[in-house]
Amino acid sequence: MSEKTIASNDYQLSQLRVLESESVHIIREVAAEMERPCLLFSGGKDSAVMLHIAAKAFAPAKIPFPVMHVDTGHNFPEVLEFRDAEVERFGVQLIVASVPEAIERGMVREEPNGSRNRIQTPVLLEACEKHRFTALFGGARRDEERARAKERIFSFRDEFGQWDPKNQRPELWNLYNGRIHTGESIRVFPLSNWTELDIWHYIGEENVQLPSIYYAHEREVFLRDGMLMANNEFCRPREGEETFTAMVRYRTVGDATLTAAVRSDATTVEAIIEEVGATRQTERGATRGDDRATEAAMEDRKKEGYF
């Protein structure tokens, strides 16, 4: 794989090692500075890379904070199997913030469209308050979409877990401000400066494990709003939507009611790198129905306390 190199006298680091070093620095900084950090782990490729880097940051010791999955109950089964296997492999504590459980006790209500994406936010915020987390690591990257592009690496959240765009803190070089008052918290994004291609190069170089749905496979799908939705118990075709079998893979992992597949023959990391390098559409623009709701969908969810 070809990589740009950054030279400093006779010592050279590849672009991937520079990105990895920055992420390790951020994770260690938070672990040293914040009282109760936690890593959000969905089983997607970005959180898998983040967990891998966290393990390297503290090796040979174990990762000194838990991971949390906000479980909508609409997950791809391959992703849940992967989540549980990774938690066992790394020996970390898994906290599950369950949306179905929150619905059952009346904390949140199902939305008319059947999606549980928006009602994840109060469940996430409740779990943060319950466990008194002061910092949450998230896998957002700036190249994903516009709301994430302007996000800070250390992003302040008020006592209600919400983001105020007027209260963003400047970040100069690698100086991060983690000072908070009681009840406040920060979101931390160690992969902010990575691109989707960087992530795949790193997955290949480090042999990072992923759920099988990231690689091309045959699946029963149907077309909805120009996206290939999988036919499963959470997402059934409506009248006029015909199912068919196609070779597909997923570029992101999320709620099965909103996350679409893309046509692909890429069964290896090398083939995916070639495919991603040639595409002109971002992974979220190509596969996430929630980001198509409005121009400012992610911005609105960010203000409410999501990601």
Joined tokens for residue 187 = 């979101």
DSSP label at residue 236: -
C-alpha dist (Å) from residue 172 to 94, 176, 255, 267, 279 = 34, 8, 36, 41, 33
pLDDT at 6: 53
Residue type, 287: T
What is the chain's length? 307
pTM score of the predicted model: 0.88
Q: What is the mean pLDDT of residues 93-97?
A: 97
What is the mean predicted confidence (pLDDT) over 94-100?
A: 97
User: Quick one: tokens of 38?
Assistant: 């936690």
pLDDT, tens only, 135-162: 999 999 988 877 777 788 999 998 888 8
- Please report the pLDDT score of residue 295 as a whole number: 55
Confidence of residue 247 (pLDDT cuts 50, 70, 90): very high
Listed residue (47, 30, 34, 8) closest to 194, CA to CA: 47
Q: Are 290 and 299 in contact (CB under 8 A)?
A: no
Per-residue model confidence as pLDDT tens digits over 161-206: 888 877 788 888 878 888 899 889 999 999 999 999 999 999 999 9
Instruction: Report pLDDT for 4.
Output: 54
| β-pair partners for 188 | 137, 154
As a three-state string, the secondary structure of 78-109 is HHHHHHHHHHHHHCCCEEEEEHHHHHHCCCCC
Mean of all residue pLDDT scores within the chain = 89
By DSSP bridging, strand 135-137 and strand 185-188 are parallel
Per-residue pLDDT at 50 exceeds 60: yes
Q: What is the mean pLDDT of residues 96-117?
A: 90
Q: Token digits for 88?
A: 């066992």
Least confident of 16-25, 108-117, 279-288: 279-288
d(CA 172, CA 174): 6
**pLDDT for res 150:** 75
Q: What is the pLDDT of residue 304?
A: 74
Task: Give the C-alpha separation, 43 to 126, whole Å.
Answer: 21
Q: With 0-12 CB in 10 A as exposed, 13-18 as middle and 19+ as buried, what is 196? A: buried
Mark out the alpha helices in 185-239 (DSSP H runs). Answer: 196-206
d(CA 124, CA 21): 29
* pLDDT at residue 231 is higher than 70: yes
Lowest mean pLDDT among 25-29, 109-113, 244-248: 109-113
pLDDT at residue 3, rounded to an integer: 53
Mean pLDDT in residue range 234-252? 94
pLDDT at position 164: 80
Give me the mean pLDDT over the 86-94 stretch. Answer: 97
Burial class (CB in 10 A: 0-12, 13-18, 19+), 80: middle
